[in-house]
Amino acid sequence: MQDRVMEKAAALLESGVCTRVLGWKTGEFFYDVTPAVFTSAEEVRTQMVYNPFCGPNLSKYLIAESRKEGKIAVFLKPCDTFSFVQLQKEHRIARDKVYAVGVQCDGMIDMDSLKALGLRGVTAAREVGDNLIVSTLYGEKTVPRREALSLRCRVCKSKRLNDCDEIIGEQGGDLPSDRFAQVEALEAMTPEERFAFWRSELSKCIRCNACRNVCPACSCEKCVFDNPGSGVRNKAAADSFEENLFHIIRAFHVAGRCTDCGECSRVCPQGIPLHLLNRKLIKDMNQLYGPYQAGADFDSKPPMLAFTPEDPEASIITNGRDGQ
Amino acid sequence: MQRIGVFVCWCGSNIAATVDVEKVAQTLAQEPGVVYSTHYQYMCSQAGQEMIQNAIREHRLTGVVICSCSPRMHEATFRKTVEKAGLNPYLLEIANIREHCSWIHKDKLTATEKAVILGRAAIAKVQLNAPLTAGQSPVTKRALVIGGGIAGIQTALDIAEAGFPVDIVEKKPTIGGKMAQIDKTFPTLDCAACILTPKMVDASQNENIDIISYAQVEKVQGFVGSFSVTIRKKARYVDETKCTGCGLCTEKCPQKKVPNEFNLGLDNRRAIYIPFAQAVPKVAAIDPNYCTMLKSGKCGVCAKVCTAGAIDYKQQDQLITREYGAIVVATGFEPIRLDKFDEFAYSQSPDVVTSLEFERLMNAAGPTGGTLLRPSDGSHPHTLVFVQCVGSRCDGGEKGKSYCSKICCMYTAKHAMLIREKYPDTEVYVFYIDVRTPGKNFDEFYRRAVEEYGVHYIKGMVGKVTPQDGKLKVQASDLLGGRQLRIDADMVILAAAIEPDKTARPLATMLTASMDTNDFFTEAHPKLRPVESPTAGIFLSGACQGPKDIPETVAQASAAAAKVIGLLVKDSLTCSPCTAKPDELMCNGCSSCEKVCPYGAITYIDKPFRGPNRTTLIRRVAQVNPAVCQGCGACTVACPSGAMDLQGFSNQQIMAEVDAICR
C-alpha cells in the first residue's frame, strides 16, 4: 500500500494531472507524521511517507490549497473523505481544483496505543500480516495490529471512500460501530458526576487552539474566538469556567457538521477526550431528528439547518428524556 | 459622545404602584451617556410625547430609552414621537417595565430594582443603535382562505365583494364544513342547509372566488403582502371540468360498504361519491382506499356509466403555487375522540351517540331520513338522556379539555326541544354542570326548552352508562335534589368537547402563526386585535381561534375579511429596516444561512477581495435582499462565524444588554 501511494503521487505529478500533491512527511520522530505539499516527483520520492501513522486528516488543507493556481492531488483515508464531502457541501473546497485519491484504510496506529501496550523507546514499526513488528531501544517486539490501533479507529464508522476520482485498494462500506458507548457511560452518570468529569478534563486545557485549528469543521474565515467584535473573545479568557466553555461552544458550532473524524482528541496535547462532546451531540441529533452522518453524501439536509413540522419541540424533548 | 434621554412612565398606577418610578429615573440618570432622565404619569399621552420631543431638542439627545409597557403596545407610537423631533426612529429603545416587571411583581423594592436593571439594559443597547431607514415592499392583491366552512365562505365572500380575488382551499371534496352537517340552528330553529347552501352557491358563482376543494396547503413561503403558497390538490380521479354531478356513478358503483363520513359513519356510501346533495363543487370523487379499480385494476363501472367521460383513474395529485397578499385561517373544529370516556359506553353501544351524530339522525337528509330511530334496532326511543360537558371543563386537562366548548348548552337545548316537539311521547333528561346561555335570545331559548317543552334539566353529572337488555342504564346524581338517579334510557347523547381541527397545528408551523396549548390559534391581542394572528398577514376566522357558534363565527369571518381588505387596498407596505446584514469579511460562504432562511432572502455571489501582496481573492459571500428579509434572525444563529447580524438587534447589542443585566 505504501509503495502504491508513493508511486501514484509521483505519477500524478509527472503526468501533469496535478501540479501539487498533498500528503504526509515525517516530522521530528518517525511516528510524528505531518501534512505536507510536494511539487515534484523528486520531492515525493525523497520526502513523502505513507505508513500506519498517517493519521492526520488532510481535507481541511484543501480549503486554502484549492484556491491556489493549478490542480492539487490529495490522498484521503475513508474518514477523511467524510470531511472532504462536508466541506464541499459548505462550498469551502473548489472540487474542480482537486484530484482526490482514496486510500483503503485498515486503521491507523498511534503512539498512545503502543505506550499503553508497555512499549518504550520505539524507533520504528512495520506491518507484517495482522501483526506489527515494533523496533525499540530494547529490541524488537511483535504486537497484534488491532491492539495498536488508535482509539478512534477501533470504533471506525465507515471504510467507505466518498467522492474520490480514483481509489487505491478496495472500496469499503459502513461498519457497525459502538462509538457511542463512552457517551452512554457519561449519560449514565449523575449530573454532579458528569459536571465533575468535564470540569476535571476541561481544566487541563491550555488553550493552545490545536483542536480548533485541526478541526475540518472549524474553518471559519474568522473564528468568533479571534474576533473582538463577537463579544466572546475576552470572556473565554476571563476565568477558568468561561475558559472551559470554549470547548462546549466549539462543539455547538460544529454540531451537525462534525463528521466525527476524531482529530480534536488526536492533537490535544493534554489528552482531553474532546471528541466525546461532539459524539454526544451527534448521538442526540440522531435520536431527535433521525440518523444523520455529516459528509456521507451531498444531498442530505443537516439536521441543524433543516426543519420539518415533525421535529420534536424542546419542551417535549426534556419531558421525554427526563421521564418527567 | 452619546447623549441619552431616559423617560420612565407610571402608566397611571399600573407601573407606579409597584415600581418607584422616581427612584428608577434617578438611578438611571447615573448611567454613562445619560444626560436627561425623568418620569411622567402617561408617556404615551399628548403631554408625555411632547415632553420627550422637547427633551430631544433641548438636550440634543442622540438616543431615547422609554421605560414603559411592552414595545408591542407603544413602540410604533414612540418611534413616531422621536421621529417628529428629528431623531431617527430606530434610535429609540423601550424597556418593558410593565408586563415584564410591575404586573408580575408584588414587592415594590425588588420590582424597582428590576426596573432599573431593565432600563440599564436598554441604555446599554441604545448606545450601540444605528440609524436605520425603512424600505417598501409590494402587496399581492389576492387572498387565500384556508378552510371552506361557514367561516371561510363568509370571509371569502366579503373579500370578493370588495373586488379582490380570493381562493378557498378546502381539504374535503366539498365546501360547507360542519354547518352542512347540522340539522337546525339555534336560537331560531331555521334549517342550517337552507341558510348555508345559498352561501355555498354564491361562493362558487362569484367571479372573484376560486374554490380549490379536496386540497391542502403544503408549503408557505414569504411574508405579509407577498406569500407564495403551494397547494396540493389531491387526485379525485374525476375530471372536475367534465363531471356534471349527475350522480349516476355513485348509484352504480358496486363498492357499497364505505362508511359515510358525512353521516359520521352511521350509514354507508359508495367508493365513488358526492358527499351530499348540495355539495359545492358538485363533482364526484373516488375514495382510493375503497375503489376496486384503483386497488386491483378490476372494475371500471363508474367509467362505463359516466356519459361525460369524466372518470380518470390515472389522475395524479397536482401542486399549485400561487402568490397571495394575505392568508386567512378558517380551519374550524372537530369533536374530540371519546376513547377516554368509556364510562358513557360510547364504544359499547351504538345507541350512545355524540351530538354531531345526533344532528345527522335528526336530519331529513340523514341516514334515517329525519325520523329519530335508535341506531341499534331502528326502534323509536322513548327516554333520551343528554350528557353535557363530555370532555369540556375537565380539571387538569388530562382526560379532556379544561375549556368550555361554548356551543353545547345551546345545541342540547335545541335537540331536546326538537325531540319534544316532534315526539311528545318522549322523556328527555339533560344532565349539566351549568347551563351557559350568553347570547342574543339564547337564555329565552333555553327557558322555552324547560318551561314550554318540559325537558328535565338536572344539575349533576352522569356517573356511568351500562348497556343492559336493550336499555342503557344511566346512573347519575341530582345535585339540587341531593339524590342518586337511575334512568333506563333508550338513547344517550354525549355533548363531546370540541377541539381545533388536526390540520391546524402543522398549518400553524407553516405559517409561523402562534397557537395556545390547546392548539387554538392565538390572536394578536385578545381584546383589541381578535381576528389577526401576531404573524403579520395571517388572519383568523371562526372556531380555529376558539369555540364559537355560527353567529359569532360569521361575525368574526366578516371582521377578518375587513382586515384583509384593509391590507389588500394598499399598494405597498413599509418594511422593517431590522433586517439581516452579513459581514463579508467574515463570511465563509457556507450556505448555512441560506438553508435556514424561511423567506429565501439570501443569495451568494463570488466577490473579489484584496489579498496580501496585491493579490485578489475570489470568495463566495452571502447577500441579503432587504426587501424580502423579515428580520427573524434565524441566519444570525445559524452562521458559524457570526458574520450575519441583525440590524437593530446585533449580537453586540444583545451581548451589551446581557452584560448590563449581569453587571
Predicted confidence (pLDDT) per residue in B490-499, tens digit: 999 999 999 9
User: Can you give the residue range of the structural domain that contains A255?
Assistant: 181-322
CATH number at residue B163: 3.50.50.60
More confident residue, B7 or B659: B7
Residues of A within 8 A of B588 (CB-CB) are 90, 92, 219-221
**Same domain assignment for residues B506 and B406:** no
Of B587, B652, B656, the CB nearest to A221: B587
**Same domain assignment for residues B550 and B607:** no
Interchain proximity A67–B509, CB inside 8 Å:
no
Pick from A192-196, B36-40, B571-575: least confident: B571-575
Chain A residue at shortest CA distance from B505: A309
**Same domain assignment for residues B338 and B399:** yes
**Same domain assignment for residues B490 and B365:** yes
- Burial class from Cβ neighbours inside 10 Å (0-12, 13-18, 19+) for residue B486 reads exposed
Name the residue among B574, B575, B624 with its Cα closest to residue B597. B624
Interchain proximity B640–A227, CB inside 8 Å:
no
Collapsed DSSP state (helix, strand, coil) of residue B97: coil
Interchain proximity A90–B586, CB inside 8 Å:
no
Q: How far apart are CA A320 and CA A19, in angstroms?
A: 55
Is a pLDDT exceeding 80 seen at residue B146? yes
**Same domain assignment for residues A194 and A242:** yes
Residues of A within 8 A of B652 (CB-CB) are 229, 231
Average pLDDT, chain B: 95
Q: DSSP string of B204-230?
A: HH-TTEEEE-SEEEEEEEEETTEEEEE
Interchain proximity B617–A307, CB inside 8 Å:
no
pLDDT one-digit tens code per residue, B296-309: 999 999 999 999 99
Confirm or reject contact between A68 and chain B (CB < 8 A): no
Q: How far apart are CA B416 and CA A103, in angstroms?
A: 82
Interchain proximity B590–A306, CB inside 8 Å:
no
Order of all β-strands in the sheet with B352-354: B352-354, B491-496, B383-390, B427-432, B456-459
Is a pLDDT exceeding 70 seen at residue B396? no
Does residue B300 sit within a domain? Answer: yes
Confirm or reject contact between A27 and chain B (CB < 8 A): no
pLDDT one-digit tens code per residue, B439-450: 999 999 999 999
Confirm or reject contact between A116 and chain B (CB < 8 A): no
Of B617, B620, B642, the CB nearest to A91: B620
Give the CA dihedral A177, A182, A184, A186, nearest 10 degrees.
-170
**Same domain assignment for residues B42 and B29:** yes
Name the residue among B319, B331, B258 with its Cα closest to residue B289. B258
Residues of B within 8 A of A91 (CB-CB) are 589-591, 604, 620
The CA distances from residue A287 to A183, A190, A317, B112, B393, in Å, are 13, 21, 10, 45, 37
Interchain proximity B586–A306, CB inside 8 Å:
no
Does residue A176 sit within a domain? Answer: no
C-alpha atoms less than 13 angstroms from C-alpha of B147 in its C-beta half-sphere: 31
Q: DSSP string of A69-118?
A: SS-EEEEE-HHHHHHHHHHHHTT-S-GGGEEEEEE-----B-HHHHHHTT
Mean pLDDT, rounded, for B435-458: 96
Give the CA dihedral B315, B321, B326, B327, nearest 10 degrees.
40
Is a pLDDT exceeding 60 seen at residue B607? yes
**Same domain assignment for residues A136 and A214:** no
Distance between A90 CA and the closest CA of chain B, angstroms: 4
pLDDT one-digit tens code per residue, A176-191: 988 999 999 999 999 9
**Same domain assignment for residues A128 and A226:** no
Which alpha helices (H) appear in chain A, and where do they start and end? 2-15, 41-47, 61-65, 78-89, 111-116, 145-148, 151-154, 181-187, 191-202, 210-214, 233-238, 240-253, 263-267, 275-289, 314-322
B281 in Cβ contact with B213 (< 8 Å): yes
Interchain proximity B588–A305, CB inside 8 Å:
no
Residues of A within 8 A of B517 (CB-CB) are none
How high is the pLDDT of residue A320? 42
Does residue B655 sit within a domain? Answer: no
**Same domain assignment for residues B115 and B222:** no
Does residue A174 sit within a domain? Answer: no
Q: Which amino acid is at B295?
A: K
Is a pLDDT exceeding 80 seen at residue B256? yes
**Same domain assignment for residues B530 and B451:** no
Of A227, A232, A309, the CB nearest to B509: A309
**Same domain assignment for residues B377 and B495:** yes
Is a pLDDT exceeding 70 seen at residue A315? no
**Same domain assignment for residues B97 and B223:** no
- How many Cβ atoms from other residues are within 10 Å of residue B447's Cβ? 13
Residues of B within 8 A of A229 (CB-CB) are 652
**Same domain assignment for residues B325 and B350:** no
Q: Which amino acid is at A247?
A: H
- Please tell me the pTM assigned to this model: 0.72
Mean pLDDT, rounded, for B169-179: 97
The alpha-carbon radius of gyration of chain A (Å, integer) is: 21
Residues of B within 8 A of A301 (CB-CB) are 595
pLDDT band at B418 (very low <50, low <70, confident <90, very high): very high
How high is the pLDDT of residue A235? 66
Is a pLDDT exceeding 50 seen at residue A104? yes
**Same domain assignment for residues A22 and A162:** yes
**Same domain assignment for residues B384 and B495:** yes
Mean pLDDT, rounded, for A150-163: 94
Residues of B within 8 A of A256 (CB-CB) are none
Q: Which DSSP helix (H) or strand (E) runs through B46?
A: helix B46-58
Q: How far apart are CA B482 and CA B438, in angstroms?
A: 28
| Cell digits of residue B289 | 382506499
The total of structural domains in chain B comes to 5
How high is the pLDDT of residue A239? 73
User: For chain B, which residues lie within 8 Å of any Cβ of chain A, measuring from their own Cβ?
Assistant: 505-506, 509-510, 585-592, 595-596, 604, 617, 619-620, 638, 640-643, 651-652, 655-656
Collapsed DSSP state (helix, strand, coil) of residue A57: coil
Interchain proximity A91–B596, CB inside 8 Å:
no
Does residue A21 sit within a domain? Answer: yes
Confirm or reject contact between A302 and chain B (CB < 8 A): yes
Last residue of a domain, one of B499, B526, B547: B499
Of B585, B590, B596, the CB nearest to A92: B590
Mean pLDDT, rounded, for B469-488: 95
Mean pLDDT, rounded, for B567-578: 93
Q: Which amino acid is at B504?
A: A
**Same domain assignment for residues A93 and A122:** no
Distance between B619 CA and the closest CA of chain A, angstroms: 9
pLDDT one-digit tens code per residue, A199-255: 999 999 988 999 999 999 999 988 988 888 776 766 666 677 777 888 998 999 999
Does residue A175 sit within a domain? Answer: no
Does residue A256 sit within a domain? Answer: yes
Of A224, A257, A301, the CB nearest to B641: A224
Of B586, B589, B655, the CB nearest to A91: B589
Last residue of a domain, one of B451, B481, B499: B499
Last residue of a domain, one of B472, B499, B526: B499
> Phi and psi at residue A69, in whole multiples of 5°?
-60, 145
Is a pLDDT exceeding 90 seen at residue B478? yes
Residues of A within 8 A of B589 (CB-CB) are 90-92
How high is the pLDDT of residue A319? 45
Is a pLDDT exceeding 50 seen at residue B91? yes
B624 in Cβ contact with B580 (< 8 Å): yes
Confirm or reject contact between A273 and chain B (CB < 8 A): no
Residues of A within 8 A of B641 (CB-CB) are 220-224, 227
| Cell digits of residue B654 | 444583545
**Same domain assignment for residues A278 and A192:** yes
Mean pLDDT, rounded, for B466-484: 95
Residue for grid cell 408549503: B219
Does residue B95 sit within a domain? Answer: yes
**Same domain assignment for residues B526 and B485:** no
How high is the pLDDT of residue A323? 37
Chain B residue at shortest CA distance from A228: B652
How high is the pLDDT of residue A237? 65
Name the residue among B81, B84, B90 with its Cα closest to residue B62. B90
Interchain proximity A221–B586, CB inside 8 Å:
yes
Q: How far apart are CA B623 and CA B621, in angstroms?
A: 7
**Same domain assignment for residues A120 and A26:** no
Strand ranges inside B182-316, DSSP E? 184-185, 190-191, 209-212, 215-223, 226-233, 258-259, 268-269, 272-273, 285-286
The total of structural domains in chain A comes to 3
Q: How far apart are CA B318 and CA B233, in angstroms?
A: 5
Distance between A254 CA and the closest CA of chain B, angstroms: 8
Mean pLDDT, rounded, for A119-139: 90
Give the CA dihedral A289, A290, A293, A298, nearest 10 degrees.
-80
ipTM value greater than 0.90: no
Q: How far apart are CA B522 and CA B511, in angstroms?
A: 13
**Same domain assignment for residues A187 and A317:** yes
Does residue B137 sit within a domain? Answer: no
Does residue B103 sit within a domain? Answer: yes
Does residue B173 sit within a domain? Answer: yes
Does residue B135 sit within a domain? Answer: no
**Same domain assignment for residues A83 and A139:** no
pLDDT band at A103 (very low <50, low <70, confident <90, very high): very high
Residues 6+ away with beta carbon under 8 Å from A131: A142, A143, A144, A145
> Phi and psi at residue A260, in whole multiples of 5°?
65, 45
**Same domain assignment for residues A295 and A206:** yes
CATH number at residue B595: 3.30.70.3270
Does residue B241 sit within a domain? Answer: no
Mutation for testing the B interface, residue in A63, A89, A222 having most B CBs under 10 Å: A222
Interchain proximity A309–B506, CB inside 8 Å:
yes
How high is the pLDDT of residue B149? 97
**Same domain assignment for residues A299 and A236:** yes
Is a pLDDT exceeding 80 seen at residue A284? yes
Interchain proximity A229–B585, CB inside 8 Å:
no
Q: DSSP letter at B149?
A: S
pLDDT one-digit tens code per residue, A289-305: 889 999 999 999 888 88
How high is the pLDDT of residue A230? 75
Q: How far apart are CA A109 and CA A132, in angstroms?
A: 9
Distance between A253 CA and the closest CA of chain B, angstroms: 6
pLDDT one-digit tens code per residue, B41-73: 999 999 999 999 999 999 999 999 999 999 988
Distance between A200 CA and the closest CA of chain B, angstroms: 27
Mean pLDDT, rounded, for B524-539: 92
Distance between A123 CA and the closest CA of chain B, angstroms: 42
Interchain proximity A229–B588, CB inside 8 Å:
no
Residues of A within 8 A of B592 (CB-CB) are 90, 305
Of A219, A230, A309, the CB nearest to B651: A230
How high is the pLDDT of residue A100? 97
How high is the pLDDT of residue A324? 34
Does residue A173 sit within a domain? Answer: no
> Phi and psi at residue A245, in whole multiples of 5°?
-70, -15
User: Can you give the residue range of the structural domain that contains B597?
Assistant: 580-647
How high is the pLDDT of residue B177? 96
Mean pLDDT, rounded, for B262-278: 95
**Same domain assignment for residues A47 and A138:** no
Interchain proximity B509–A224, CB inside 8 Å:
no
Mutation for testing the A interface, residue in B583, B586, B593, B645 having most A CBs under 10 Å: B586
Interchain proximity B640–A221, CB inside 8 Å:
no
Residues of A within 8 A of B216 (CB-CB) are none
